[in-house]
Structure 1
Amino acid sequence: MTVVFLCVFRFIMPHSQTILYAMSEEQRRQLQQQLWNIANTLRGKMGADEFRDYILGFIFYKYLSEKIQRFADAELAQENLHFAALKESTEEGRAYIAALEEAALGELGYFLKPSELFHAIAMKGSNQEDEHKLGDSHNFILADLTRILKNIEQSTLGTESADDFVNLFEDLDLTSSKLGNSEKEKNALVAKVLTHLDKIDFNLSDSTADVLGDAYEYLIGEFASGAGKKAGEFYTPQPVSTLLAKLVTAQKQTLKSVYDPTCGSGSLLLRVKREAKQVDKIYGQELNRTTYNLARMNMILHDVHYADFDIKQEDTLERPQHRELRFDAIVANPPFSAQWSASQLHMSDDRFSVYGKLAPASKADMAFVQHMVYQLAEEGTMAVVLPHGVLFRGAAEGHIRQYLIEQLNCLDAVIGLPANIFYGTSIPTCVLVFKKCRKNPDNILFIDASQHFDKVKTTNVMRPEHIQKIVDTYKARSNEEKYSHVASIESIKANDYNLNIPRYVDTFEAEEAIDLAVISAQLIELDKASLTTDATIAAFCKELGIAPPFAQV
């Protein structure tokens, strides 16, 4: 195969593969433990939210390297050549590399040269590099690594994938004093981490497994649990993500689009992709720059093609980036009771103007609901996690709640979740499910799942059976004593549009009746036993020649 033909020939890969999780439990566990052990190499130097950026960035770099190498080796197979062995110093090698770059940018959206591959840098860092390729025998790699990460981003300039790679590694600061007090210390630590990572097989050749993606999700969750309050900025606990994903795919498995206006690390969007049979395109918006970068990495690492996701970095309420679009499924875990501008300028914004009221500046919960309802397609489904206060707070929030029910009639279900299931807060939360074209316009389903969980140390955890019970009840729209109730719109109106779950699902447990005659008989027997015991003690005291410790009758 000639270099010219190489430009035309493609090792065709699907733009968006369905995420499959058919890996063995042992394979999953081992990789998770390996990666966590490597992550802990950095732990003594910085906080959980800081060393997260380094280890996830390095894992992502390794993934990009292995993916480009697999792609290039497949293209070179007929020539019996290997990408890593191409000589960048020869004219023939440069010709092959140029052709491969053109092919890779169209298919994968980025490019790395053979000398920029993760393995090459890891080998150089451990002083085992291939001399004829890398030249310098010393093992200082920080400058090389900084240049390579920048080159990955720059390789996409002018291409369709540019927006998805721009500034992707900006949080991986290799000059930070947190890596060490001297350049030598920094280099040694980074080289150690890369060397350990280089020994791990990500098994990218197995298209039936998402071992790395699953392990990446595990690490994100572990970092979230160690980051306290900051975790809410980038991660929704997996059971909650699973519940939301199952709810929005309950009646529709093929989705043209899914959207999360506060997408964090993107894990919730990926969970929907996992639950659905097909998702054509993923959309998200995230305010925090670091978390936005993490979300883009997460998409690419889960083999979502760059053309199949569109994640923006901006304030969703103030500057929505996808407002002209309408989505088949919307999922969200907005920051609880966040502050927002509540500017009167929003009263001319179609997202809010029809309600006649804005959510209070100190609690943006209802503002997020208004935004999402506006972006929901006519046949779409939306599921959002919110604090319980949105169910009963008055003033502007009460007015908005009434409008959603009375005028738009789009609230389909209210689901109460257990307390203490989120990182950084123990407050109870709820899930609101919205549909614009409801099949049951005369009622709203209430589910009280607040007592359905397992206690794990200091946290409450929803197990698969707890999640499935909620989903089954939602699908069946059934009444179950002390668990669920289908409430008529009239009854909700009678309650002044207060959605507090105990008003509709009676979970009162009557105390067991007390049989006073039985209690009296037990007291009599106790009294008799006490007299016998007193007599025994008195006898012992008499033998000892001391007075008993109680008054004798």
Structure 2
Amino acid sequence: MTETVTQQQINSVLWQAADTFRGKIDSSIYKDYILTMLFIKYISDTYKEHLEEYTERYDGDETRIERALSRERFVLEEDATFDYLYSKRNDPAIGEIINKALEKIENENTGKLRGVFRNIDYNSETVLGKTKDRNATLRTLLEDFNTLTLKPSVVGREDVIGDSYQYMIEQFASDAGKKGGEFFTPSMLSELLARLVKPQVNDRIYDPTCGSGSLLIKVANQVPDKKVQIYGQERNGQTHSLAIMNMYLHGIDDAKLEWGDTLSNPLHLENDKLMKFQRIVANPPFSLDKWYEGFSDGSTNGKKFKMEASLDPYHRFDWGVPPKTKGDYAFVQHMLHSLAEDGTMATILPHGVLFRGSSEGKIRKEIIQMNLLDAVIGVPSNLFFGVSIPAVVLVFKKNRTRDDVLFIDASGEEYFEKGKNQNKLREEDIQRIVDTYDNFETVDKYSYVASRDEIIENDYNLNIPRYVDTFEEEEPVDMKEVKQNIKKIKSEIAEVEKQMEAYLEELGL
């Protein structure tokens, strides 16, 4: 019987591999080298096991073996396998050998892995150092991974690899601090968004700023057998590659993830219009400066470029052009224009979107008048890696049957677990939010259902304390009891003073 490898064993080897780079390179960069090697090791071990099975089944018949292997999920040539790379670990050109192997894997699997490895260079002197140091690092990396067996028969369920990949992304995000937030949304916050949007079988699920894809996977996991169609876009090339590998390692082979700037170049289109999605989730970059840059063609003749609604062919900013230093409502408007009829979207944003004025106030007013906002949920501060800023989750719906808005204040200390460097939402905290949202009810000092008239009265200001009163009244003071206490204390002081005088007299002082 084959001994299975545990999640903990895989995670341990991966963390050991990280030690090879730690102190030499920033974790926001070296994560790409480790996660790519994990992917290569997994598809190599899978391919190798299936080759052994077919060799035995077809009694060494090369033609039949080749035919069977060509139908595999991923096709590998011998000199593109992990075992081949390991055999070359002492070669002076090991960096170039790994790069060529990645290129071969892309070419053999062009429909699935085209461009996935284009942003990673195992022969980079800039990142990995001069030849001697680089070769030593790569040799150690290959030796670390060689201790790991990732054959399907040993690993068991496929998600074990996916979960290890996810674990490492989270560890790297934590290590990278503020930079970590660019490619990973904390797990329990992703879980909250996934449960709020309630995906159904065959839904199109979309994340316009998908990072490494973890949030999309959480949403897919809400549906039996992940029977949904996943769409995403990410502007960072390395992170886009991580997302593609993440999907495959979680058994999602048909995700449609594009690389590019979602605002200036949305790539999920149908009939030259924005594609529509039943469920949208996102954790866009908070208050992105110069979000509009991709709309400029550089022909301003030295004048400052001014973003105007007319420059967007998809008319996403007709309700108002967000300020140039804060792209929050640019993403919100993009998502609302991408939301299908009866669709639901949930997005994480900074608190400023609730009350900032000027063009953002105008956009907020339009959204409320069009009855698109369903809920405003305040979550604790310090949930994100390296960022202490408190956040809010906004839930939007198309074709709402009610015009009230639910406000939830889940930021109080009793609604999260306080951590040394980072706070965490617990399962009971998430469930409390979801239950309150599902019931759409006012709960004393926690939630409030506000009518549209109340919101208009507040001049479309959505700041949560205006609606949810969390003030705890202090118990009334019993003055009679206070008076008695004072009298008692005075009596005790007099007694002590009398005692002191007696002691001083005894000492002749």
TM-score for the superposition, normalised by structure 1: 0.82
Distance in 2 between residues matched to 1:348 and 1:120, nearest whole Å:
50
Deviation, 1:389, is 1.0
Q: Which residue of 2 aligns with 1:403?
A: 366
Which residue number in structure 2 is paired with residue 219 of structure 1? Answer: 168
Would the aligned equivalents of 1:417 and 1:429 in 2 still touch at CA under 8 Å? Answer: yes
Q: Does 1:103 align with 2:56?
A: no
Pairing partner for 1:151 from 104, 107, 123 = 104
Q: SS of the counterpart of 1:455?
A: coil
Matched, 1:46 2:9: no
Q: Deviations over 1:315-339 (max 9, x none)?
A: 1111111143111110000000102
1:319 counterpart (233, 250, 265): 265
Contact 1:244/1:331 (CA < 8 Å) preserved in 2? yes
Find the aligned partners of 1:508 and 1:351 in 2 and give their Cα distance.
43
Aligned-partner Cα distance in 1 for 2:22–2:312: 49
| Matched position secondary structure for 2:278 | strand
- 1:301 paired to 2:249: yes
In structure 2, the CA distance between the partners of 1:70 and 1:378, relative to structure 1 (3 Å rule), is farther
Aligned to 1:436: 398
Q: What does 1:449-528 align with in structure 2 at a 5 Å threshold?
A: 449-451=410-412, 452-528=415-491
Tell me whether 1:416 sits opposite 2:378 in the alignment. Answer: yes
Report the RMSD for the aligned CA atoms in angstroms. 2.4
Q: Deviations over 1:91-123 (max 9, x none)?
A: x86x5775456333xxx2x42123432133224
Q: Which amino acid aligns with 1:268?
A: L
Query: Please, which moves more after superposition, 236-245 or 112-121?
Result: 112-121
Alpha-carbon distance in structure 2 between the residues aligned to 1:486 and 1:237: 28
8 Å contact kept, 1:146–1:174: yes
> Are the counterparts in 2 of residues 57 and 169 from structure 1 also a CA contact under 8 Å?
no
The answer to whether the 8 Å contact 1:32/1:215 transfers is yes
Secondary structure class of the residue paired with 2:387: coil
* Structure 2 contact 49–151 (Cα < 8 Å) conserved: no
Aligned-pair distance for 1:345? Answer: 5.1
Counterpart for residue 87 of structure 1:
none
Matches within 5 A, 1:144-223: 144-157=97-110, 160-161=111-112, 164-176=113-125, 178-181=127-130, 183-202=131-150, 204-205=152-153, 208=157, 210-223=159-172
Q: What does residue 213 of structure 2 align with?
A: 266
Amino acid at match of 2:418: K
Structure 1 100/191 Cα, relative in aligned 2: closer, same or farther at 3 Å?
farther
Q: Aligned partners of 2:150, 2:70: CA distance in 1, in Å?
A: 25
Q: Deviations over 1:416-472 (max 9, x none)?
A: 111111112211111111111223x22111111111111011322110110011111
d(CA) in 2 for partners of 1:77, 1:248 = 48
1:346 Cα deviation after fit: 4.1
Q: Which amino acid aligns with 2:449?
A: V
8 Å CA contact retained: 1:203, 1:211: no
Written as runs of structure 1 = structure 2, the 5 A alignment for 1:358-369 is 358-369=321-332
Shift of residue 218 of structure 1?
A: 1.0
Q: For the Cα contact (< 8 Å) 1:351–1:370, is it kept in 2?
A: no
Distance in 1 between the 2:26 and 2:384 partners?
20
Q: 1:44, CA displacement in angstroms?
A: 2.4
8 Å CA contact 2:17, 2:145 repeated in 1: yes
Residue 36 of structure 1 pairs with residue 23 of structure 2: no
How far apart, CA to CA, are the structure 1 residues paired with 2:390 and 2:67? 56
Query: What does residue 233 of structure 1 align with?
Result: 182
Contact 1:220 1:235 in 2 (8 A): yes
For residue 395 of structure 2, give the secondary structure of its aligned residue in structure 1: strand
- Cα 1:266–1:115 change in 2 (3 A) is same
Cα offset for 1:314? 1.0
Contact 1:482 1:507 in 2 (8 A): yes
* Residue from 373, 387, 391 that aligns with 1:425: 387
Matched residues in 2 for 1:534 and 1:458: separation?
Answer: 50
Partner of 1:4: none
Q: Is the 8 A contact 2:158 2:250 kept in 1?
A: no
Equivalent positions of 1:315-354 (< 5 A) are 315-324=261-270, 325-339=275-289, 340-341=291-292, 343-344=307-308, 346=310, 349-354=313-318
Structure 1 SS opposite 2:6: helix
Shift of 1:366: 0.8
Find the aligned partners of 2:156 and 2:397 in 1 and give their Cα distance: 36
Contact 1:234/1:291 (<8 A) preserved: yes
- State the identity as a percent: 42
Distance across 2 between alignment mates of 1:492 and 1:349:
32
Gaps of 5+ in 1: 1-23, 82-91, 128-137, 547-553
CA contact (8 A) 1:255 1:328 kept: no
Shift of 1:538: 3.5
Q: Distance in 2 between matches of 1:143 and 1:303?
A: 30
TM-score by length of 2: 0.89
Q: For 2:132 and 2:472, locate their aligned partners in 1 and report how far apart those are by CA, in whole Å.
A: 66
Structure 2 unaligned regions, length at least 5:
293-305
CA distance in 2, matches of 1:204, 1:247: 34
Aligned to 1:33, what secondary structure does the other structure show?
Answer: helix
Return the letter of the residue paired with 2:255. Answer: F
Corresponding letter in the other structure for 1:283: Y
Whole-angstrom CA distance in 1 between matches of 2:30 and 2:168: 11
Partners in 2 of 1:100 and 1:544 — Cα distance? 105
Give the equivalent residue in structure 1 for 2:295: none
Q: Which residue of 1 aligns with 2:191?
A: 242
Question: Cα gap change, 1:53/1:209 in structure 2, threshold over 3 Å: closer, same or farther?
Answer: closer
Instruction: Report the Cα offset of residue 179 of structure 1.
Output: 3.5
CA change 1:487–1:203 in 2 (3 A) is: farther
Instruction: Report the CA distance shift for 1:218/1:224 in structure 2 as closer, same or farther (over 3 A).
Output: same
8 Å CA contact retained: 2:158, 2:249: no
Q: Which amino acid aligns with 1:394?
A: G
SS in 2 for 1:40: helix
